[in-house]
Structure 1
Amino acid sequence: MTLWLTVLIQAGLLALSMVVLWWWFKRHQSQDNQYTELERRLDYTSRQWQQSQLEVEELRAGIIGVGQRVLQLETALQQFSSQTEQQLSSLTEQQQAIALTDPESKIYSRAMKMVQLGADLEEIMRECELPRAEAELLYNLHQAKQ
């Protein structure tokens, strides 16, 4: 009986060892599967990261290009504004020079001032030496504005 008992104990230990070995193998296999899955995920994430980096670089280059274009447009606008101011100043000076040299302009300016100050038609004709038709025209135009 002891022999049977010894064989039975050895068979039980062998079965237990096999179960432990099977459990360890399954557990190790499960960990290998998890490791493989983690490697796959890491590889996928790495590719996504690289793609994102490329997209960020493209966006950065685009933004730099837009910024440079904005600076060019600002410079052009400033030049245009400066040229426009110079031309306007030149035209204003020319207009003033013409007004100062044109004697008729002085007469009409004086007649308009007189209308604004309340002078009558006869007074305007006499002081500015204007014909009746021109004096009436100036008088009517400036009276309508008032």
Structure 2
Amino acid sequence: MDVVNNNLVLLFVAMASGVLSLVCLGFVFVLLKKAQQSHIKHNKLHAHIQDTENQTAILRSEIAEVRSGLLSIGQRLIACENYAKDLAQQQAAQKYDDPDARIYSRAVKMVELGADIEEVMRECELPRAEAELLMSLHNKS
């Protein structure tokens, strides 16, 4: 009977090891499937990171272009402001350099202060027609 018991024990051990092998094989398959899924997720994340890096490079390039354009516009604006200042200075200088302009400026001031036509003609040496024109223009405004 010992032989039968030994055979039963061996059969039981063989069956238990077979079941244990099947369970281990099942765990291996589950782990392989999870590894494949993890690998797929890793590839997707890597592709997403690559796309993000490409988009970032494009955006940096576009920002550099915008920055360059803004600098150019700023330089042009400064040049225009300087040109406008020069023109204003030239205009102011011409206003004071032109003796006729000074005479008319003085005549307009006299009219604004209430001088009569005779006084404007005498002080500014203007003909009557010009003095009357200044008086009528000033009185309308």
Both structures adopt the same fold (TM-score exceeding 0.5): yes
In structure 2, relative to structure 1, the CA distance for the partners of 1:21 and 1:105 (3 Å cut) is same
Counterpart-to-counterpart distance in 2, 1:46 and 1:28: 26
Map of 1:47 onto structure 2: 43
The one-letter code matched in structure 2 to 1:100 is Y
Q: 1:114 aligns with which of 103, 110, 114?
A: 110
In structure 2, relative to structure 1, the CA distance for the partners of 1:122 and 1:48 (3 Å cut) is farther
Counterpart-to-counterpart distance in 2, 1:124 and 1:32: 115
Q: Does 1:127 align with 2:123?
A: yes
Tell me the percent identity.
30
In structure 2, relative to structure 1, the CA distance for the partners of 1:141 and 1:16 (3 Å cut) is farther
Q: Does 1:88 align with 2:55?
A: no
In structure 2, relative to structure 1, the CA distance for the partners of 1:11 and 1:110 (3 Å cut) is same
Query: Which residues in structure 2 correspond to 1:1-146 (within 5 Å)?
Result: 3=1, 7=4, 9=5, 13=9, 16-145=12-141
Q: Structure 1: give runs of 5+ residues left out of the alignment.
A: none
Once the two structures are overlaid, the 10-residue window that deviates more, 129-138 or 90-99, is 129-138
- Normalised TM-score (structure 1): 0.73
Counterpart-to-counterpart distance in 1, 2:22 and 2:115: 118
Counterpart-to-counterpart distance in 1, 2:58 and 2:69: 16
The one-letter code matched in structure 2 to 1:51 is A
- Normalised TM-score (structure 2): 0.75
Counterpart-to-counterpart distance in 1, 2:62 and 2:25: 55
Counterpart-to-counterpart distance in 2, 1:31 and 1:143: 107
The one-letter code matched in structure 1 to 2:61 is G
Name the SS for the 1:119 alignment partner: coil
In structure 2, relative to structure 1, the CA distance for the partners of 1:103 and 1:20 (3 Å cut) is same
Counterpart-to-counterpart distance in 1, 2:25 and 2:139: 107
